[in-house]
Structure 1
């Protein structure tokens, strides 16, 4: 069983936060990338053949990047190898005023892009919101369970690889959570998540339950990305 504290993660250690705002059909799309392929090296990301992210290591979530609505060729290649060595080359269509996460998922031998639509609109009341995304290629379908004084409470049930949960409205507290095989009682990974008023988070389950003995940094983990910053950061309180 693994344990950890799900730290808010982003490219170069910065939170991947986007402030919610009013809808506007002229607003650009916003797109971020997570490197979730456990045995792939650090990667460069290209949009339309142009590099937009460089030397992105496993478990890193980038900041949101603005794109005008339309269709784009998105490629992922080993760092410094050039777009001609891409291991992912796919077309991604984005719409105005919509946020997306493009995840590099699976082992390197069958790596592919998984595109998620992110709901980063402000909500009322401004409770913390959390979504779970299962990106661990050797893990079965999982439940996410909250430890509670009256017994375990299932927050997410039977989430399969490359699947995502609904957004969950929570109170602004620190939560002790466990990841378990669907329907099972034994945790495969325990972690804590500290949530704040008005923030939206995505918990990415990544890595391998059974990494190779000689592998470095491939073990199962949970990366907590801050999709929308808490009210205290947005309004300086």
Structure 2
């Protein structure tokens, strides 16, 4: 991990990056930034804490865990001072991409929770995210897209993932409990009608 030294953290402009692995069927991965390992043995469906990384440009490479013969993929990432982002590995094992997602980047509403949806299920159609009574929170979100944050009351929700424009519920997500003055993302990952099954990750955003 970068910048464990408190003195360096005070002196250097820092950004904050976490990594999430959402590629069904792909192996656990090690993640390197400019050939320095920053994440070890990250499994499908798991994500890291935010890592403090000095401002700059980085080549981010994914390798099968414990190996460094040839990367699964490499891509460039710019880390800016005080930026907060998630790097998502997404797609299928034979077609993996890296996507950088800015986190907690909108104005917070006092005493409300901020929540958004990110569609990372590679074989799922565009979906609506609704409440059980049919209220639509996010509509017609296709694979590899994310919504803006919306503000909601801090309470216990049951969310439904429906095929866009229909009443066909493909996933029910109970006990979603956002807290006031915090940001959250709901990630849809996995596969429809296959293994690993479609599931949702409810993740707090921001430091």
Q: Normalising by structure 2, what TM-score?
A: 0.89
Contact preservation (8 Å) 1:145, 1:155: yes
| Equivalent in the alignment of 2:5 | none
| Equivalent in the alignment of 1:164 | 146
Do residues 173 (structure 1) and 173 (structure 2) align? no
Contact preservation (8 Å) 1:61, 1:225: no
Shift of 1:122: 6.8
Q: CA RMSD in A?
A: 1.6
Shift of 1:143: 0.4
- The count of aligned residue pairs is 195
Higher strand content, 1 or 2: 2
Do residues 46 (structure 1) and 32 (structure 2) align? yes
Do residues 77 (structure 1) and 67 (structure 2) align? no
Shift of 1:27: 4.4
**1:123-158 Cα shifts (integer Å, max 9, x gaps):** 2413111111000000011100012xxx31000011
Q: Secondary structure at the match of 2:94?
A: helix
Shift of 1:39: 0.9
Contact preservation (8 Å) 1:122, 1:198: no
Q: Pick from 68, 75, 91 the counterpart of residue 106 of structure 1.
A: 91
Shift of 1:119: 2.1
**1:50-70 Cα shifts (integer Å, max 9, x gaps):** 111111110111111112222
1:124-143 superposed matches below 5 A: 124-143=109-128
**Structure 1 stretches of 4+ moved >4 Å:** none
Do residues 219 (structure 1) and 187 (structure 2) align? no
Work out the CA distance in 1 between the residues paired with 2:36 and 2:185: 28
Moved more, 116-125 or 72-81: 116-125
Q: Pick from 201, 210, 234 the counterpart of residue 193 of structure 2.
A: 210
Q: Pick from 148, 152, 157 the counterpart of residue 134 of structure 2.
A: 152
Using CA pairs below 8 Å that are at least 6 residues apart, which structure has the higher relative contact order?
Answer: 1
- In structure 1, the gaps of 5 or more residues are 1-25, 230-237
- In structure 2, the gaps of 5 or more residues are 1-11
Work out the CA distance in 1 between the residues paired with 2:165 and 2:66: 44
Do residues 35 (structure 1) and 31 (structure 2) align? no
| Equivalent in the alignment of 1:94 | 79
Contact preservation (8 Å) 1:41, 1:57: yes
